[in-house]
A and B are shown apart, each in its own frame.
Chain A
Amino acid sequence: MNNENIIVQIRNLSKHFGKIQALKDITLDISRGQIIGLLGANGCGKSTLLRHIIGLYLADGGTCETFGTDAAKLSPVELGKIGYVHQEGELLGWMTVKQLIRYVSAYYKNWNHHLEEKYISDFNIPLTKRVASLSPGQRQQLAILLAIGFDPELLILDEPASALDPLARSRFLDLLLQLIQSGDRTIIISSHILSDVEKVIDHTLIMKQGEIIRDCSFDSLREEFLKFTITSLNGSLPKNLPFKNIIQCEQNDNKAVMIVQNETEDNLRNIAKNLNCEIEIKTLPLDDLYKIVVCG
């Protein structure tokens, strides 16, 4: 693999907090331009993993390299290429919004003032208000602006939209879609709003109890599980249908709805033809895929 293109390289990373094992032996490569959806239940280690990538946490075992350097030793130049929206939403409450934006932008030479202005007017950011007086949603909007304002090469979004209202969320989604158009920007999004995430990502990482249980492209995850409906054309369906790798099945006399894993569409169609059935095949939305992968 081309090393130039790998932005984050994690090898056998593990992390304990007291007796709790937060991360277990994680190995992962993130290459430039990937838009990654990091999914998993609360407390499964998503934030912990992200904090390792930017060096806020130190690994107990294994290594984590970001931009080719040990994440714990990231220099200001490299940190200047990372945008991070963190879950806590901790900002500097004693400044006004305007002061905070000025303060943060002072750190970045390539601060995009045009983007800043557009963002402020799009999201109705109240500039003169004190940050402490903002609602959780407004804080998140501000945090997002501060993270994207300098066109970061690596953008890490840890639950960025959890407190946004529907309108702000759809604007945020549009913004993300704009951001991903420049092909060399890498984005990692951890979110529970899967219907939003699936419009943006091209790669999925699914975590469960500190381990990565899926690391694959979104399309291959989609093709791995197929949902289909077969309808018998003459009379009833046989009790035992000749499909393999069935995950879910609901059946009545002349109709069956099934989810199968690792089956090709052609194969399914052939079987249906032999049964003299009509078949309609669909891929699953991310919500359902996530449920199947996590719950087994």
Chain B
Amino acid sequence: MLLEIDHHSGVPIYQQVIRQIRQQIMIGGLKEGDQLETVRDLAARLKVNPMTISKAYSLLEAEGLLERKRGIGLFAAKIKEENKEQIRDQMLESTMNKATVIAIQLGLTEEEAIEYLKKQYRQFNSANEGDKNE
């Protein structure tokens, strides 16, 4: 699992860890039943305080994204469908917010904004499809 920590972003490190693990789980980088690194290993690798990692893990556990098996470790959990939707909404909201605000500030109409999003979507998706075809 590749995580990247930015000490200067103004986002607490445990939140950075949570966001990145959540994303990994949602996009399938971490599949159900995959074991996570131990707190100590991850902290040593990321060069952060172990308390930070254990805080991130326990918040993810409370969220239902991780599952603790006594004496073995933490695993990516099976996410219920309704939860999945909610998490997806959350993730998208924060990103889309920014784009929308900039669009409004630049004075784009709703249609223009949607058109732009569509264009972007197609561009990235076709690149994706192309990759798959090769």
Residues of A within 8 A of B43 (CB): 181
Instruction: Tell me which residues from 85 to 108 in chain B have a Cβ below 8 Å from any Cβ of chain A.
Output: 97-98, 101, 104-105
**CB-defined contacts of B10 to chain A, threshold 8 Å:** 227, 282-285
Tell me whether A201 is interfacial, beta carbon within 8 Å. yes
Q: List residues of chain A with CB within 8 A of the CB of B9.
A: 282
Docked CA distance A233–B120 (Å)? 23
Interface residues of B in 4-62 (CB under 8 A from A): 7-12, 14, 40, 43-44, 47-52, 55
On chain A, the residues within 8 Å of B40 by CB distance are 181-183
Query: Complex: how many Å from CA A219 to CA B49?
Result: 12
Contact A233 B49 (CB under 8 A): no
- Given A178-B44, A219-B14, answer yes or no on A202-B51 (Cβ-Cβ < 8 Å): yes
Determine the chain A residues whose CB is within 8 A of the CB of B51 once the complex forms. Answer: 35, 202
Residues of A within 8 A of B49 (CB): 35, 177, 180, 199-202
Q: How far, in whole Å, are A201 and B7 apart by their CA atoms in the complex?
A: 13
Could you tell me the distance between the alpha carbons of A102 and B8 in the complex, rounded to whole angstroms?
A: 41
Q: Is A222 among interface residues, defined by CB-CB distance under 8 A?
A: yes
Across the interface, do B47 and A222 meet the contact criterion of CB distance under 8 Å? no
Contacting residues, chain A, for B52 (C-beta < 8 A): 202
Chain B, residue nearest A201 (CB): B49
Residue A66 is within 8 A (CB to CB) of chain B in the complex: no
Where chain B touches its partner, the secondary structure class is helix
Of the residues A174, A183, A283, contact of B11 by C-beta under 8 Å: A283
Please tell me if A278 contacts chain B, counting CB pairs below 8 Å: yes
CA distance A294 to B5 in the complex (A): 28
Pair B11/A181 contact, Cβ less than 8 Å: no
Residues of A contacting B50 with CB < 8 Å? Answer: 180-181, 183
Is residue A231 contacting chain B, with contact meaning CB distance below 8 A? yes
Within the assembled complex, what's the spacing in Å between the Cα atoms of A222 and B52? 13
For chain A residues 167-187, which have a beta carbon within 8 Å of chain B? 174, 177-178, 180-183
Closest-CB distance, B6 to chain A (whole angstroms): 12
Contact status A199-B48, CB under 8 Å: yes
Choose among A182, A227, A278, A284 the residue with the greatest number of B CB atoms under 10 Å from its CB. A278
Q: How far is the CB of B98 from chain A (nearest CB, A)?
A: 8
Max count, chain A CB within 10 A of own CB: residue among B44, B50, B55:
B50
Given A199-B7, A227-B10, A174 and B101 contact (CB-CB distance below 8 Å): no
Query: When A and B form their complex, which 9 residue pairs have the shortest distance between CB atoms, in order from nearest?
Result: A282-B10, A278-B101, A202-B51, A177-B47, A181-B44, A233-B104, A202-B49, A181-B40, A283-B12
Beyond the given A183-B40, A227-B10, could you list 15 further A-B residue pairs with CB under 8 A, ordered by the A residue number?
Answer: A177-B44, A177-B47, A177-B48, A178-B44, A181-B43, A181-B50, A198-B7, A199-B7, A200-B49, A202-B49, A222-B12, A223-B12, A231-B105, A233-B105, A283-B10
